[in-house]
Amino acid sequence: MKRVLLKLSGEALAGDKKTGFDEATCIGVAQQVRKLTEEGYQIAVVTGGGNFWRGRTSETIDRTKADQIGMLATVMNCIYVSEIFRYAGMKTEVFTPFVCGAFTSLFSKDAAVAALEEGKVIFFAGGTGHPYFSTDTGAVLRAVEIEADAMLLAKAIDGIYDSDPKVNPEAKKYDEISIQEVIDRKLAAVDLTASILCMENRMPMLVFGLNEEESIVRTMSGSFTGTKVTV
């Protein structure tokens, strides 16, 4: 693997606080990503927005508007995390699918790949730019567009289980599972739209817990303990 897309869920960024940012968690992520860039990996990052807002959680306001707030939440997350990455010594650039003035660069495949080739860690904020999608779907879309070798899914949970381990103490973790089985068994590692996009475009996924010691580095160095999703 040379080029990977790292998806950080908003929930994982918030650490134990469950909302906003946990700075220590973000610095830990930055230090791991720096090690990987020093080893020559090209890294693109997508962050979720659930630590601030999820469109589907509002029953009051119009869904399109609620989703726009969600997309802006991911822009805030990416600006914050990219600044933490700069603090840790990396060059970064944040891309959005819509114009955000001077805050971000407008996404194009060529500009994103050029930034990776320059040695920058790049961020894809704002999801797909459209309502009724998730950041998971935005992440797979961008991974496919930049021709990433795999998508790394860093979650608050350490892999894919056959049932919810918070509810069922007997739940079993998969070491490896096909994306078809994830869909058939409704395991919701990523949402259905993102799963189908992964399957159709043969984008493998590595799912692991962000809070495990050095989990991003271990995932890339072969001592991976999460779930590998094959295509």
15 binds ligand UDP (CB under 6 A): no
| Among positions 4, 54, 152, 229, the unique one binding ligand UDP when judged by CB under 6 A | 54
Q: How many other C-beta atoms lie within 10 A of the C-beta of residue 90?
A: 18
Distance CA 118, CA 107 (A): 16
Closest CA to 44 of 133, 131, 129, 114: 114
Q: Report the nearest approach of ligand UDP to the CB of residue 118 (Å).
A: 26
CB of 226 vs ligand UDP, minimal distance in Å = 17
Among residues 135, 195, 215, 219, which is the contact residue for ligand UDP, using CB under 6 A?
A: 135
Which is nearest to 123 in space by CA: 84, 146, 96, 89? 96
Residue 52 beta carbon to ligand UDP: minimum distance, rounded to whole angstroms: 8
Please report, to the nearest 10 degrees, the dihedral formed by the alpha carbons of residues 70, 201, 162, 215 taken in order.
-70
Cβ 3 to ligand UDP shortest distance, Å: 21
Tokens of 196: 């189908």
Half-sphere exposure of 168 (CA within 13 A, CB side): 8
Tell me: does residue 165 bind ligand UDP (CB under 6 A): no
Q: How far is the CB of 161 from ligand UDP (least distance, A)?
A: 18
SS3 state of residue 173: strand
Q: Is 67 in the site for ligand UDP (CB under 6 A)?
A: yes
How far are the Cα atoms of 49, 59, 61 from residue 56, in angstroms, in the given order? 12, 7, 10
Candidate list 4, 9, 75, 219; residue touching ligand UDP; CB under 6 A: 9
Closest approach, Cβ 48 to ligand UDP, in A, equals 2
Q: Is 158 annotated as a binding residue?
A: no
User: Is residue 55 a contact point for ligand UDP (CB under 6 A)?
Assistant: yes
Q: Whose Cβ is closer to ligand UDP: residue 10's or residue 28's?
A: 10
Q: Is 70 in the site for ligand UDP (CB under 6 A)?
A: yes
- The residue whose two tokens read 């946990």 is 22
Q: Would you count residue 219 as binding ligand UDP (CB under 6 A)?
A: no
In degrees to the nearest 10, what's the CA dihedral of 189, 190, 194, 195? 10
Q: How far apart are CA 175 and CA 70, in angstroms?
A: 32
Q: Which of 32, 92, 128, 227 binds ligand UDP (CB under 6 A)?
A: 128
Pairing of strands 121-124, 176-178: unpaired
- Binding site listing for ATP: 7-10, 50, 54, 161, 164
What is the binding site for ligand UDP (CB under 6 A)?
9-11, 48-50, 54-56, 66-67, 70-71, 73-74, 127-128, 130-131, 133-136, 138
